[in-house]
Copies of this chain bind each other. A is one copy, B any other.
Amino acid sequence: MSGAFEALGRTLRLGVIGGGPGGMIGPMHRNAARLDGRFAIAAGVPSSDPARAAAAGAAIGLPEGRSYGTVSAMIEAERARADGIEAVAIMSPNDAHYPAATAAIEAGLDVICDKPMTNTLADARDLAARVRESGCLFCLTHAYAAYPMVRQARAMVTAGAIGAVRAVQMEYLHAGMATRVEDGPMTPKLRWKLDPARVGPSLVLGDIGTHAHHLACFVAGLPLARLAADLGALVPGRTIDDTAALLLRFAGGARGTLFASQAMAGSENNLNLRVWGESGLLEWAQTDPNYLHFAPLDRPMQRLARGDADLLPPARRLVRIPRGHPEGLLEAFANLYSDAAEAIAARITGAAPDVLALDFPTAEDGVRGVAFVEAAVRSGRDGGAWVACEVA
């Protein structure tokens, strides 16, 4: 991970939007940003309630005087400082992504943004156009795609290790909504997730389905062409969807399935990927992320490990500690941040970036994700008809 960032020779100043005290996603983003020493958390909008900004900022360790009540307040105040923020990281509820990102880009700030990019395809296309026109960086935090062994899988597919891709099986199953959470205490996080106006057209697809969609396409190296979807709720009485089963057809004809649910009692957080090609299989699971299983046709299965001597360059560059010592989700998140830092540093310094650092999810990937959600919702409403995933 070298190149432009080394040329820059200093850490980048980041403003965080969302991620207030008590949640999981805030510390994840902030620790990931800092892990490799490429970002300092310089400012933030730590609460959707401006009155709580100072307290929330103190609680999460923002520098004094740099906790703001609104995104626009942060942008304005930071612009006036010599040491003002250079980029923002957005980890607020889904409906806040679009306004925050557009405001940041308007101000010339680079953007790191949690998924889904937006709640509508129109917004996604508009945001992607603004990104293109501004020249700002936009990195969407599909962090699972930044695990070293996922990058290895993608690189192996690209290198032909399994031949032409024939089939993809993708699962993301957990139990977070397996009970009637609607009837329990409404945490702030739960409140917006259960509100269709805020979470978007599909809870399950926005929350976890887009991760699965991105990961499948990322590793297979193929965009999704068409899908047929069965959406609904497993929990009786639930008015939003918590489960999606999809049949997939990728560009070029490869087939696939995608099964995502937040109502699978007993499942942990099972994000599992299998990609079959004409000459073998690659298999990865987030619960065991330091290994990638590679089963060549008619040969023994191999278990590749993060840290193996002969990993391909896109994976090898991400290895921090020897094999056998586990890394987790934090390091995957940090890989995304460090890659984004390289791209930002290249823009600032004009130095050539490490090209291997440029494989993070972009605004175009974000558009594809939102297009996927909309196509699935349309198919589901249309009795499971095959629907094209049209991006533009």
Query: Which among A23-31, A42-50, A196-204 touches the partner chain?
Result: A23-31
Q: Flag if B278 contacts A257 (CB, 8 Å).
A: no
A174: interface (CB < 8 Å) = yes
A297/B178 contact (C-beta < 8 A), A24-B320, A24-B322 known: yes
The reply to whether the CB of A158 lies closer than 8 angstroms to some CB of chain B is no
- Chain A positions 5-55 with a Cβ under 8 Å from a chain B Cβ: 24, 27-28, 31, 34-35, 37
Output the nearest chain B residue to A270 by Cβ-Cβ distance. B324
Q: How far is the CA of A162 from the CA of B281 in the complex (A)?
A: 26
Interface range, A side:
35 or more
Segment among A71-79, A298-306, A361-369 that sits at the interface with chain B: A298-306
Given contacts A228-B230, A300-B308, contact A324 B174 (CB under 8 A): yes
CB of A134 within 8 Å of the partner chain: no
* A103 interface contact, C-beta 8 A: no
A267 interface residue (CB < 8 Å to B): yes
Within 8 A of B (CB), among A282-309: 286-290, 294-305, 307-309
A218 cross-chain contacts in B, Cβ below 8 A: none
Contacts of A259 in B (CB 8 A): 169, 257
Shortest C-beta distance, A212 to chain B (Å), equals 14
- Specify which chain B residues have a CB less than 8 angstroms from the CB of A267 in the assembled complex: 276, 281, 295, 324
Name A313-351 residues within 8 Å CB distance of B.
320-331
Q: A256 CA to B264 CA in the complex, in Å? A: 12
Contacts of A230 in B (CB 8 A): 228, 247, 255
Is the CB of A266 closer than 8 A to any CB of chain B?
Answer: yes
A175–B305 alpha-carbon span in the complex (Å): 14
- Chain A, residues 205-244, CB within 8 Å of chain B (1/0): the string is 0000000000000000000000010101011000000010
Judge whether A63 is part of the interface by a CB distance below 8 angstroms: no
Q: How many Å lie between the Cα of A243 and that of B276 in the bound state? A: 12
Distance between Cα atoms of A384 and B245 in the complex (Å): 14
Residue A280 interfacial (CB < 8 Å): yes
Alpha-carbon distance between A234 and B252 when the two chains are bound, in angstroms: 12
- B386 contacts A386, C-beta separation under 8 Å: no
Contact for A255 among B234, B235, B271, CB less than 8 A:
B234
Tell yes or no: A102 within 8 A of B by CB.
Answer: no
For A324, the chain B residues whose CB sits under 8 A away are 174, 267-271, 286-287
Question: Nearest residue in B to A311 (C-beta to C-beta)?
Answer: B300
**CB within 8 A of A243: which of B162, B255, B281, B297?**
B255
Asked if A310 is at the interface of the complex by the 8 Å CB criterion, the answer is: yes
Residue A261 lies at the interface, judged by CB distance under 8 Å to chain B: yes
User: Is A277 part of the binding interface, using a Cβ–Cβ cutoff of 8 Å?
Assistant: yes
| A interface with B by C-beta (< 8 Å) | 24, 27-28, 31, 34-35, 37, 61, 162-163, 166-167, 169, 171, 174-176, 178-179, 228, 230, 232, 234-235, 243, 245, 247, 255-257, 259, 261, 263-271, 276-281, 286-290, 294-305, 307-310, 320-331, 383-386
Add 11 more A-B contacts to A265-B276, A266-B301, A301-B303 (CB < 8 A). A24-B321, A178-B297, A230-B247, A265-B295, A271-B324, A286-B324, A294-B300, A299-B308, A302-B302, A327-B329, A328-B331
4 shortest A-B CB distances, which residue pairs?
Answer: A269-B324, A266-B281, A266-B295, A268-B324
